[in-house]
Amino acid sequence: MGVDPNCIFCKIVAGQIPSFRLFEDVASLAFMDINPANEGHCLVIAKPHHPTLYDMPPDLLAAVSATVLKVAKAVEAALKPDGLNLVQSNGKGAAQSVPHFHVHVLPRRLGDNLKINWEPKPGDRAAIAAVAERIKAKL
């Protein structure tokens, strides 16, 4: 299993630093975020070290996703939030602070004013179509 000895999440996986563990299986680990944006904010990580989504083997992503679903349902059942966001950040521009693949499971409350929502505005259809072509060319 890939390990980066300088990675804080690899240290959590190895039990070298403390965490509030929720669940683990062979591929994934869920634990509480130490700087919760809301009550119940937790993280699901891949156990092997992969910095971003782009580095993730698809089968590992599927295994982590199964844990995300399990944990999200438990958060929903335990806390009855008004909603729940999954947030997964890659790279500095996305404000990723720990370069070890993880998914935030983030319970939401009406009026909590967390700054991850944006105001939907209609886009320019020609510009949308053009960027869709650029992406499709790489699929």
> Which of 10, 19, 40, 68: binder of ligand AMP (CB under 6 A)?
19
In the list 33, 55, 76, 112, the residue contacting ligand AMP (rule: CB under 6 A) is 33
Which of 41, 49, 102, 104 is labelled catalytic? 102
104 an active-site residue?
Answer: no
Site for ligand AMP in 61-120 (CB under 6 A): 89, 95-98
CB of 97 to ligand AMP, least distance (A): 3
Residue 42 near ligand AMP by CB under 6 A: no
CB contact set of 14 (below 8 Å; sequence gap of 6+): 3
Q: Which of 4, 7, 8, 61 touches ligand AMP by CB under 6 A?
A: 8
Query: Nearer Cβ to ligand AMP, position 35 or 117?
Result: 35
Q: Count CA within 13 A, CB hemisphere, residue 40.
A: 21
Percent helix / strand / coil, the chain, rounded to 5: 35, 20, 50
6 forms part of the interface with ligand AMP (CB under 6 A): no
Task: Give the separation between CA 59 and CA 20, rounded to whole angstroms.
Answer: 26
Spatial distance between the Cα atoms of 16 and 124, rounded to a whole number of angstroms: 50
What is the rounded CA–CA span in Å between residue 139 and residue 132? 11
Distance set, CA 111 to CA 4, 21, 81 (Å): 39, 29, 12
As annotated, the active-site residues are 102
Q: Which residues bind ligand AMP (CB under 6 A)?
A: 8, 19, 33-35, 43, 89, 95-98
